Structure 1
Amino acid sequence: MNCATQQIASTAQLGARWCRRSIKLGPGVAAPAPARRTSLSGRSRPASPAAPGTASMSAMPRQPSGGPSTLRLAVGATGLRLTLPHEPRDDSIRRKETELHDAEPGKGCAMSSVAPATRTEDIAGVVASHRALYDACAGLDDETVRAPSLLPGWSVGHVLTHVARNADSFVRVLDAAREGKVSAQYPDGQASRDADIEAGAARPASELLADLASSNARLEEALAATTQDVWATGALRRGDSEVSISDLPIRRWQEVEVHRVDLGLGYGPEQWPERFVVRRLEVMLPGLAARLPAGMALELRVDDSPPLVVGDGPVEARVQRPSHAVLAWLYGRSSDPQLPVLGAWS
């Protein structure tokens, strides 16, 4: 993604076991009122009485090891569901997505951690989003692809070229992994990556679309050819580290969906697939506290969820937003004046 202009970068992704005790966030469903309100800073706060017809969130217990407590969201019959962990984390069965910088330099490859069924669903999401992106762009003309996108300094052609080269970078990684090798996404570095995007941005619309279609097809073939053993053991190189390829499908899905918004052609976060929103919120919300302005706390309600106090210090804002709007804010794709400007996603 275009990190330089939108501060889009990998985020440390936190995960935990599904617990057997959950709070379903639907109309008229309430959980027992807690003595403390949950804070994503890892602390608990005095709770105010829950509003009628809403649920309050019980305090998250501290986990014995391995970082802050986390939350998990899923789509159920009654809408969005948030689940709190309450058991000690079991590293042998935990579901934790591994982002690029999770592996420590010199420590080898982070173990595969995206469940096979989850990854299969992510790949299906990638394929569907590839088709939708191409169909949405099929009628673009040369004037439109040279027009500015929503990313400063980038045209529509820049964004389409970046999405195509990103697909090629993942093909490179997967092809190497199936041969038992390790490759970087961009072996020649950031400057070469940027130069390739710049060189391709001014092409005619027909060439841009043909490139997008062929790169998407190559990646889909590579995803289909990658076996479970390769997903479990394959790695890519980032700096001096080797990290798991396990979460590559969801990262590609992210690239396609977020940059489709960046094209500025009428597609917005409210049209993101529901499962994509849930998959990204469950790993991005736990990092929110660190991105708030220093000394600030925010009371956030996602859809009809119980209030979630995020950060340290006095609560300076109380907001309720749809899940897609919260995710757009976390991605730096929101102009909502009632939401604070966040620090870089890192």
Structure 2
Amino acid sequence: MSIAPTTDIPVLAAATSRLLATVDAMREEQLAEPSLLPGWTRGHVLAHLARNADGLTNLLTGARTGVPTPMYPSLEAREHDIQAGAKRTLAEHAADLRASAARFDAAAAAMPDAAWAVDVPHRLGSFPAHEVVARRIEEVEYHHVDLGLQDACAPGDWPEAFVRQQLARVSARFAGREGLPSLCLVDTDFPADEENEPDPRSVHDTGAPRPSGTPDVTVIGPGSALLAWLTGRSDGGGLDVLIGRAQAQDPKAALPALPPLG
């Protein structure tokens, strides 16, 4: 049976199509305006997205050929390419994004079944090639929001399946992190049952271990808002917060400071 990420590939195609539609609707002067990422303009975000597609293409090519290939020759080369690419015109950015996406698609289509099981190198640790497409989806979805064009793409526009998968994944990454209290995240997009008990799929425990009892902090809100806060794309405004069992008078101030994800 093939382990090729056949379900992820059409999801990526849809995410890329939405991103390209946003870029096609941008104005030239918006490229130099700040993005949501500190120190980066929207041009930097678009350049990073294109080079990330090429970097992940390198991983797939290495898995297919048996010659392990890193995403980038070096971190310095990655930074240089983003800085240089940020200065492109809007038409150049759009063409670069389309061309790099096409190269990634071709590399994925060329993968034999066995190659998807090959581990690929990464600075944070190797992982199997069948995860590459999912990682590209993350890049496209998160950085589409990072353009800071709220009318085009905000956290509430993330697909439901993406939000639910990422909430579980990011919560797991924060589990046991030093300096965090025990946290319970409750996604209100899942309806409660007849006894007003939350759907088990809506609850994500993270932060410090909680052997039993009430968590130190409970954060309640739509899944997209929870994910935006967890990933640093929101200050948590609009989320409800309980400290123990008590409603926080100033919910945003009651939210714990989150460590970097990396």
Q: Please report the TM-score for the alignment, with normalisation by the length of structure 1.
A: 0.61
Asked if the contact 2:60–2:132 (Cα under 8 Å) also holds between the matched residues in 1, the reply is: no
Asked if the contact 2:58–2:71 (Cα under 8 Å) also holds between the matched residues in 1, the reply is: yes
Secondary structure (helix, strand or coil) at the match of 1:226 reads coil
AA in 2 matched with 1:150: L
Secondary structure (helix, strand or coil) at the match of 2:8 reads helix
1:197 to partner: Cα distance: 0.2
1:339 to partner: Cα distance: 3.1
Asked if the contact 1:157–1:202 (Cα under 8 Å) also holds between the matched residues in 2, the reply is: yes
AA in 1 matched with 2:259: G
Counterpart in the other structure of 1:171: 57
1:255 aligns with 2:171: no
Counterpart in the other structure of 1:218: 103
* CA gap 1:241/1:270 in 2 versus in 1, 3 angstroms: closer
- The gaps in structure 2 that reach 5 residues or longer are 191-198, 237-251
Matches of 1:173 and 1:278 in 2, distance apart?
26
Secondary structure (helix, strand or coil) at the match of 2:220 reads strand
Matches of 1:183 and 1:222 in 2, distance apart?
13
* CA gap 1:241/1:162 in 2 versus in 1, 3 angstroms: closer
1:228 aligned to which of 113, 137, 143: 113
2:187 aligned to which of 284, 302, 310: 302
1:236 to partner: Cα distance: 2.0
Counterpart in the other structure of 1:335: 235
Counterpart in the other structure of 2:24: 138
AA in 1 matched with 2:31: V
Asked if the contact 2:185–2:226 (Cα under 8 Å) also holds between the matched residues in 1, the reply is: no
Asked if the contact 2:47–2:85 (Cα under 8 Å) also holds between the matched residues in 1, the reply is: yes
1:270 aligned to which of 141, 156, 162: 156
* CA gap 1:134/1:255 in 2 versus in 1, 3 angstroms: same
* CA gap 1:257/1:308 in 2 versus in 1, 3 angstroms: closer
Matches of 2:165 and 2:185 in 1, distance apart?
18
* CA gap 1:302/1:224 in 2 versus in 1, 3 angstroms: same
1:241 to partner: Cα distance: 6.5
* CA gap 1:341/1:230 in 2 versus in 1, 3 angstroms: same
Matches of 2:127 and 2:143 in 1, distance apart?
24
Greater relative CO, 1 or 2 (CA 8 Å, sep 6+): 1
Counterpart in the other structure of 1:288: 174
Asked if the contact 1:291–1:342 (Cα under 8 Å) also holds between the matched residues in 2, the reply is: no
1:229 to partner: Cα distance: 1.1
* CA gap 1:240/1:181 in 2 versus in 1, 3 angstroms: farther
* CA gap 1:309/1:167 in 2 versus in 1, 3 angstroms: closer
* CA gap 1:312/1:274 in 2 versus in 1, 3 angstroms: same
- The gaps in structure 1 that reach 5 residues or longer are 1-114
1:124 to partner: Cα distance: 1.2
Number of residue pairs the alignment of both structures matches: 228
Secondary structure (helix, strand or coil) at the match of 2:103 reads helix
Secondary structure (helix, strand or coil) at the match of 2:25 reads coil
AA in 2 matched with 1:125: V
Counterpart in the other structure of 1:192: 77
Counterpart in the other structure of 2:194: none
Asked if the contact 2:171–2:205 (Cα under 8 Å) also holds between the matched residues in 1, the reply is: no
Matches of 1:301 and 1:292 in 2, distance apart?
22
Identity of aligned residues (%): 37
Structure with greater helix percent: 2
Counterpart in the other structure of 2:218: 318
Asked if the contact 1:185–1:236 (Cα under 8 Å) also holds between the matched residues in 2, the reply is: no
Asked if the contact 2:57–2:107 (Cα under 8 Å) also holds between the matched residues in 1, the reply is: yes
Secondary structure (helix, strand or coil) at the match of 1:318 reads strand
